[in-house]
A = this chain, B = another copy of it.
């Protein structure tokens, strides 16, 4: 494990403890027992560090089981796994949304879903559109979920949020199904 990876790991732990707003280069340096400036040997900027965190969040997703016959189940599995990856760390969805260019893992996930929907019978353009729509929904849902429902006095239980997410996703899948006919 390179020193760079140790710094990255410490940053993720700090994120989970204090949240994105308090994830500070100086706090991170203190946790590593090092001066703030020392971080810049491993990351060119704080933004580069955040990008690396996001890449790891998105990479943790295992691919949906490719043995499935139906495209709908694969779309559902991909969306569920993407949401789970963002929920796995504090402020994960906001972090992903704030990011600039999508990393290699994000692009790979996108292409994979396009292929799945195309295999289901959609023309290339329609498959891309459907994929865009699914990810927009997943990101929008999870950002709001994590901002308002995970903690606090009006916390909605996880099982209820899972049901809501799946139901909304079902609406979109039905819409894609209708477009395929």
Contact = CB atoms under 8 A, between A and B. Distances in A.
Residue in A133, A143, A171, A176 with the greatest tally of chain B CB atoms within 10 Å? A171
Interface size class of A (residues with CB under 8 A): 35 or more
B176 A171 contact: yes
A148 B100 contact: yes
A66 interface: no
**Secondary structure of the A contact surface, majority rule:** helix
Contacts of A138: 140
B175 A132 contact: no
A45 to B, nearest CB: 13
A178 interface: yes
A155 B53 CA distance: 26
B137 A133 contact: yes
A141 interface: yes
Contacts of A173: 175
Nearest to A93: B97
The 9 closest A-B pairs by CB, nearest first: A140-B140, A175-B175, A171-B175, A133-B168, A136-B140, A174-B175, A136-B141, A139-B140, A174-B178
Given A129-B171, A133-B141, 13 more contacts: A97-B143, A98-B147, A100-B148, A101-B148, A129-B168, A133-B137, A135-B140, A137-B140, A171-B175, A171-B176, A172-B175, A174-B178, A174-B179
